[in-house]
Amino acid sequence: MKFIDEANIQVLAGKGGDGSASFRREKYIPRGGPDGGDGGKGGSVIAIADRNINTLIDYRFARIHRARNGEPGRGSDCYGKGAEDVVLRMPVGTLISDKLTGEALADLSRHGQQAVLAQGGRGGMGNLHFKSSTNRAPRQFTRGELGEEKELHLELKVLADVGLLGYPNAGKSTFIRSVSAAKPKVADYPFTTLHPNLGVVRVSDNRSFVVADIPGLIEGASEGAGLGIQFLRHLARTELLLHLVDAAPMEESIDPVAQALAIVEELRKYDEALFQKPRWLILNKVDMTDSELLAPLRARFAEAFGATIPIHIISALTGEGTKQLCYAIAEHVEVARAVKQAIEDAKPVVKVAPKVEVPMEILEVDFPDEDEGKQDESE
């Protein structure tokens, strides 16, 4: 299945059914009184997060989603049937925003989470609601409300704890294959990864984290070089970035430090918040590097990036150093989760104000024979 992480759709909720202005007419009951029922509610358009879906491809081609209108009310106290809601299943991690204003409407960050994208209209009231001691033969009723209509932008940001950065052929896919059950494509040419891949890394029975592998970046990606920077959005939810560097480039003219600095600059151009995320340097392919060159290379990286950024040396192909790295990542992720949960628990509870319902316009219907609708004043 093709991986699609952006789509634009239009959602149209259903109109509420009109109320009915009717009077009971039966044999031997000449003045039965009002019996017009209410109209049914219009159908709403609802989004629900589904962990069994991992792409927005369904919404790239099916762009209009329309709910049905509610049925009108009828006589004999018959209420119109409400229309069923239209449910749109989307991948977990989908961010839904208004296409015209850019306002974020919903962030489907957990399985089963729901959000109403377009609210269906209320059904109108029948004339039985308007009867009183002074209005024995009401002819008033209300029409159903119109449903909401919106143009929405869908953006998928995969949920992962750790994101992998690096030049093409830095060994990102080999690393995720080595530490998880994910099997992304690995080949000896650049840009073998064309869409994000997720892998679950288990360091013990009850400790795990999710790694996201995105297509490689190159210098000038912010201007469209290579595959561009469109996939960097999938690192927005991560707690840690692993910057993989090829410590044994095929060409002697390639400088790993210069390549790493270029990636960091592209990250800064894309998003300052992503640039500020915790980032570790991972020197990969040490099995192909002369051991005497590792210490000077590590010293150069420490000088270029500062002593605050951790540097790990691994070989994703042979597994050297990957186990210790995974344990360190698990500890970092667990601390980040605990801090995030503490912040959430400390937030004050915000009470949502009840929705103010706009009164419906009351209409009046004229009957051909007024005597048929009138009540006996002596009753």
| pLDDT tens readout for residues 86-134 | 999 998 889 999 999 889 899 898 889 999 999 999 999 998 888 888 8
Nearest to 60 by CA among 35, 91, 30: 91
**Domain-located, residue 355:** no
- Do 277 and 195 lie in one domain? The reply is yes
The last residue of a domain, from among 156, 172, 203: 156
pTM for this model (two decimals)? 0.73
Same domain, 314 and 233: yes
What residues form DSSP beta bridges with 284? 246
pLDDT exceeds 70 at position 185: no
Q: Among residues 140, 156, 172, which one ends one of the domains?
A: 156
- 187/316 same-domain check: yes
Residue-wise burial string across 272-302, b where 16 or more C-beta atoms lie within 10 A, e elsewhere? eebeeeebbbbbbbbeebeeeeeeebbeebe
List of residues 6+ apart from 44 with CB closer than 8 A: 13, 14, 67, 85, 86, 116, 117, 118, 119, 120, 147
Whole-angstrom Cα distance, residue 276 to residue 1?
34
Of the candidate ranges 159-163, 304-308, 355-359, the one whose mean pLDDT is the lowest = 355-359
Residue 262: HSE in the Cβ half-sphere, 13 Å Cα cutoff: 18
Q: Is residue 360 part of a domain?
A: no
CA 336 to chain CA mean position, Å: 22
Distance of alpha carbon 265 from alpha carbon 207, whole angstroms: 33
Structurally, the chain folds into a number of domains equal to 2
**CA-wise closest residue to 173 among 157, 189, 156, 155:** 189
CB atoms within 10 A of CB 56: 19
Q: Give pLDDT, residue 377.
A: 39
**Residue in the structure block whose two tokens are 């698990």:** 330
**Alpha-carbon distance 347 to 240, whole Å?**
24
> Is residue 376 assigned to a domain?
no
Co-location of 320 and 335 in the same domain: yes
Structure tokens at 30: 């000449």
> Quick one: residue 33, left, alpha or beta (phi over 0 = left, psi -120 to 50 = alpha)?
left
Instruction: Specify whether the CB–CB gap between 290 and 248 falls below 8 A.
Output: no
CATH code for position 10? 2.70.210.12
What 8-state DSSP symbol labels residue 229? T
CA dist 347 and 198 (Å) reads 31
In three-state secondary structure terms, 252 is coil
The one-letter amino acid at 354: P
Q: H-type helices in the chain, by residue range?
A: 57-61, 172-179, 256-270, 272-275, 291-305, 322-346, 370-373
My answer on whether 196 and 288 are in the same domain is yes
Q: Are residues 226 and 94 in the same domain?
A: no
**Percentage of the chain surpassing pLDDT 70?**
86
Query: Other CB atoms closer than 10 Å to residue 114's CB: what's the count?
Result: 12
Q: Is 366 part of a structural domain of the chain?
A: no
In sequence order, the β-bridge partners of residue 7 are 154
Tell me the C-alpha distance between 160 and 183, whole Å: 17
For the ranges 40-54, 299-313, 335-349, the lowest mean pLDDT is seen at 335-349
Bridge pairing between strands 311-313 and 114-118: unpaired
* pLDDT reading at 140 higher than 90: no
Structure tokens at 159: 């949920």
Q: What is the CATH number of the domain that holds 281?
A: 3.40.50.300
Q: Same domain, yes or no, for 278 and 320?
A: yes
- Provide φ and ψ at 50, rounded to 5°: -130, 120
Tokens 């500062």, located at residue: 306
- Structural domain contains residue 373: no
Question: Does residue 353 sit within a domain?
Answer: no
Q: Is 257 helix (H, G, I), strand (E, B) or coil?
A: helix
CB-count exposure of residue 368 (10 Å: 0-12, 13-18, 19+): exposed
Lowest mean pLDDT of 165-174, 305-314, 352-361, 366-375, name the range.
Answer: 366-375
Range of the domain at 122: 6-156
> Do residues 54 and 151 share a domain?
yes
**Are 140 and 252 within one domain?**
no
> Which residue matches tokens 């219907």?
365
Query: What are the pLDDT digits (tens) for 14-73?
Result: 999 999 888 888 888 777 888 888 999 999 999 999 988 888 888 988 899 999 999 999
pLDDT tens digit sequence for 265-293:
888 888 888 888 889 998 888 888 777 77
Same domain, 183 and 316: yes
What DSSP state is assigned to residue 282? E
362 is a domain residue = no
Same structural domain for residues 233 and 260? yes
Whether 352 is in a domain gets the answer no
Give pLDDT, residue 154.
92
**Cα(272)–Cα(250) distance, integer angstroms:** 32
Question: Which class for 132: exposed (0-12), middle (13-18), buried (19 or more C-beta within 10 A)?
Answer: exposed
